[in-house]
Amino acid sequence: MNDTTWEQRFRGIYDRGLAACRAGRRSPSEMFGPDDVAFLASLGCSPREVFDFVEDYLDYNEPDFATALRITAVRRDYFLRVQHGKPTGRTAPASDLPAKSDAVDGIPWLPRLIAKARLKLRGELPDELMYGCGGDRPFLRRMGTDLPSFLELVRDSGDDDRRIVDAVKQTAGLSS
């Protein structure tokens, strides 16, 4: 499936999710049928992820569709290239993540967001967590970046936390 085809189909699912949510169907199981669920799985995406994008957009006017698409594109690329289209079958417990107050180089939230981004890339986020939640978005704005760019940074950095931290500090204009 070429990029345009999957993006158009994803847009249709997203738009149906918006309509369902506006109509009061506010759970992934009420919003998406089996064909949508199967298609999302082929991208390495879950109905919960699209639901979270849609719900937050309706409640907070962000993330917009373009951001949701870019995040999904990064996940799809990782899923197809690194995971060869095979989910890990694992879901990390939310309790395994660093606390929101944990800091690295004096930057609270960053250790947690790095962990969430890695789980997002692998498709292992638990349902109660969202990559791009109402805490992640303002944090990344303060750091001078956005959700898709940060996810790409984490993907491209592998296990090198120092590279991620230094890149965030540089983008944010913080001294090393």
Helix (H) or strand (E) run with residue 95 in it: none
- Dihedral pair phi/psi, residue 89, rounded to 5°: 80, 5
Clarify whether residues 96 and 70 are in a common domain: no
Clarify whether residues 83 and 93 are in a common domain: no
Clarify whether residues 79 and 118 are in a common domain: no
Question: Each residue of 126-136: pLDDT tens digit?
Answer: 999 999 999 99
Clarify whether residues 106 and 142 are in a common domain: yes
Clarify whether residues 48 and 112 are in a common domain: no
Q: What is the pLDDT of residue 3?
A: 67
Q: Which of 36, 52, 87 is the last residue of a domain?
A: 87
Angle between helices 65-81 and 147-157 (to 10 degrees): 20
Q: Which of 87, 118, 136 is the last residue of a domain?
A: 87
Question: Each residue of 61-120: pLDDT tens digit?
Answer: 999 999 999 999 999 999 999 999 999 999 999 999 999 999 999 999 999 999 999 999
Say whether 104 sits in a helix, a strand or coil: strand
Clarify whether residues 118 and 72 are in a common domain: no
Token readout for 136 is 């992640």
Mean pLDDT score of the chain: 96
Polymer length in residues for the chain: 176
Clarify whether residues 115 and 70 are in a common domain: no
Q: Which residue has the higher pLDDT, 115 or 176?
A: 115
Res. 51 pLDDT band, cuts 50 70 90: very high
Clarify whether residues 100 and 62 are in a common domain: no
Domain that includes residue 56, residue range: 1-87
Clarify whether residues 35 and 95 are in a common domain: no
Clarify whether residues 17 and 54 are in a common domain: yes
Say whether 14 sits in a helix, a strand or coil: helix
Clarify whether residues 83 and 7 are in a common domain: yes
Considering only CA atoms, give the Rg of the chain: 16
Burial profile 33-61: b = 16 or more Cβ within 10 angstroms, e = fewer: eeebbebbeebbbbbbbbbbbbbbbeeee
Please report the beta strands in the chain, taking only residues with DSSP state E, as ranges in sequence order: 103-104, 107-108
Predicted TM-score (pTM) of this structure = 0.95
Q: Which of 87, 120, 154 is the last residue of a domain?
A: 87
CB within 8 Å of 36: residues ≥ 6 apart: 13, 16, 47
The total domain count for the chain is 2
Residue type, 35: D
Clarify whether residues 65 and 107 are in a common domain: no
